Amino acid sequence: MPKLLIIEDDAAFCQMLQKFLIRNGYDVEVSFTAQDAKTKFKATTYNLVLTDLRLPNYDGLQLLSDIKEVNPKTQVIVMTGYAEVGSAVEAMKKGAYDYISKPFTPEEILMQIKSALNQEADRQLVRGTQESHEFKNTVVEPQDNRVVIGISEASKKLHEYIKLVAPTDMSVLITGESGTGKEVTARAIHDNSKRKEHSFVAVDCGAIPKEIATSEFFGHVKGSFTGAVEDKKGHFEAANGGTLFLDEIGNLSYENQIQLLRALQERKIKRVGSNKEIEVDIRIVTATNEDLTEALENGSFREDLFHRINEFSVEIPSLEERFEDLPLFADFFLRKANRSLGKNVEGFSEDVKDIFRQYHWPGNLRELQNVIKRAVLLTSGNTVEKEALPKEVYRSKESNVNVDNFSKADYEKEQIVKALKQSNFNKSKAAKLLQITRKTLYNKINHYNLDL
């Protein structure tokens, strides 16, 4: 029986939700404060934690980090108010499985919990054709294992790279801004490789405390340390014969980098507490939204490991760089949200389509998906209207309307110059402020012929 923990300061709502989930076959405990919750999830392993982002005397995002630090495998769903979608997006960046906006129906949260416990996160991309260029207003059930190709030149180039490298055994380093779909690309490489019948194991290196990273990667034997109550396979063994995807590899400690390099060179591992060598046959795909060349320069990332994981590199374009594909992704995320929430919203109003085109989408595909899912939840009719969107999305359009002849390019140039001034013209820091890679920043500076 799956074990759940609900963290919610509204005692009446919390207990009502607990009773409902118990009736549906879950073992559910509750906490009304973050302090009580921390005591519970340190003492007990939960399959899933359902937590409110707004808690008295404690930061909800910090609590999420606390949960993931104790047990990175615990699924977390965050509950938010309508105005907190930005925090919910940040929570998903920090490892939350999903978010759900209040008020929600019992059936909606039950669906979310079942999805999280099945660990079937939708990592799909949708295959697009020239006919998908415009927003469609038809509801089509999403099919499994489809891949986004898109119609933009940037998307076509990305797809060509995937087709080129997938059949090989080369190590691939995927770079790109946060939210662009790096894990989806890694899975597409696996699904088009000769290893596709074997496991694809995804690991968030940023969510693994360095103290337990060795055990997580290589496994351990019973009794090797306090808490090792049984033998455990690590990620390398779990991915044997298949693909090991290491997301945010730049977050690994220097010591863990040495261990990883040794394992990749020798293709052998040892579980913690064991002297027995285990041979592993895996393909490594890694990803980062950081500039690893800067990490190489300051000595925080090993150069030999960098060359080992970077036999072939793929840069995922931002949503701005493949803006022609926006209607394609929007339609797909609409269908996906309908399926997830049990709704039947048919499309977007003309005003919403216009807002989508004018917004700059700093959170890329992840932000687009979250905005659409929230909007579908709030929509009672057949069409998503402006009122269902977060204010920060449509205010962007309104601010542009108030400035005569102020184009999207003008806005972007102004933001670049502002970030450069704010960072004292340090391009690496400016890129971080703009949430883009340093390479993308250089390209935009050259594109706009900015005299810096």
Between the alpha carbon of residue 6 and those of residues 19, 79, 81, the distances in Å are 11, 10, 16
Give which of 376, 16, 13, 25 is closest to 4, Cα–Cα.
25
DSSP string for residues in 403-446? STT--HHHHHHHHHHHHHHHTTT-HHHHHHHHTS-HHHHHHHHH
The helix-helix angle for 350-358 and 326-341 (nearest 10°) equals 120
Single pTM value for the model: 0.60
Residue 125: inside a domain: no
Q: Using one digit for the tens of pLDDT, what is the confidence trace for 75-100?
A: 999 887 644 556 766 777 678 887 77
Same domain, 291 and 330: no
Split into its structural domains, the chain has a count of 4
Q: Is the pLDDT of residue 395 over 80?
A: no
Do the beta carbons of residue 246 and residue 199 sit within 8 Å? no
57-69 pLDDT per residue, tens: 888 888 998 998 8
Rounded CA-CA distance 238/201 in Å is: 7
Residue 435, pLDDT > 90, answer no
351 and 419 both lie in a single domain: no
How far are the Cα atoms of 70, 97, 183 from residue 25, in angstroms, in the given order? 25, 21, 32
On average, the pLDDT of the chain sits at 83
Output the domain CATH number for residue 263: 3.40.50.300
Written as one letter, the residue type at 153 is: E
Q: How far apart are CA 75 and CA 145, in angstroms?
A: 23
Residues 307 and 431 in one domain: no
Q: What is the percent of the chain with per-residue pLDDT over 70, rounded to a whole number? A: 87
Same domain, 196 and 311: yes
pLDDT > 70? residue 398: no
Same domain for 19 and 75, yes or no, is yes
CATH number at residue 137: 1.10.8.60
Q: Is 279 strand, coil or helix?
A: strand
CATH of the domain at 98: 3.40.50.2300
CATH, residue 432: 1.10.10
Of these ranges, 351-355, 398-402, 445-449, the one predicted with the greatest mean pLDDT is: 351-355
> Who's near 201: CB < 8 A, 6+ residues apart?
235, 238, 239, 242, 243, 244, 245
pLDDT at 378: 94
Q: Are 8 and 68 part of one and the same domain?
A: yes
What pLDDT, on a 0 to 100 scale, did the predictor assign at position 245?
Answer: 96
Would you say 48 and 77 are in contact if contact means Cβ atoms under 8 Å apart?
yes
Average pLDDT of the segment spanning 434-443: 76
Q: Is the dihedral of CA 383, 389, 393, 399 positive or negative?
A: positive
160 assigned to some structural domain: yes
**379 confidence band (pLDDT: 50, 70, 90):** very high
Asked whether the predicted pLDDT for residue 375 surpasses 90, the reply is yes
Q: Is the pLDDT of residue 370 over 80?
A: yes
For residues 9 and 54, give the distance between their C-alpha atoms in angstroms, rounded to a whole number: 9
Whether pLDDT at 229 is above 80: no
The answer to whether residues 158 and 194 belong to one domain is: yes
Alpha helices by DSSP H, 196-248 = 213-218, 235-238
Is the pLDDT confidence value at 421 over 90? no
For residues 185 and 141, membership in a common domain is answered with no
**324 and 308, same structural domain?**
no
Q: What is the pLDDT of residue 407?
A: 55
Say if residue 323 is in the same domain as residue 309: no
The 10s digit of each residue's pLDDT in 312-324 is: 999 999 998 888 8
* Same domain as 134, residue 37: no
Domain that residue 417 falls in:
408-447
Establish if 452 belongs to a structural domain: no
Report, as an integer, the average pLDDT of 360-374.
Answer: 91
Least confident of 35-39, 226-230, 236-240: 226-230
User: Structure tokens of 450?
Assistant: 């900015």
Q: pLDDT (tens digit, 9 = 90+) per residue, 249-299?
A: 998 999 999 999 999 999 999 999 988 999 999 999 999 988 888 889 889
Q: What is the mean pLDDT of residues 115-121?
A: 63
Is residue 124, in this structure, part of any structural domain at all? Answer: no
Which DSSP category does 97 fall into?
S
173 and 294 assigned to the same domain = yes
- Across residues 139-158, what is the average pLDDT? 62
Q: What is the pLDDT of residues 176-201, one digit of tens each?
A: 988 899 999 999 999 999 999 999 99
For position 243, what pLDDT does the model report?
96
Q: Which amino acid is at 451?
A: D
Residue 353, domain member (yes or no): yes
Report if residue 123 sits inside a domain: no
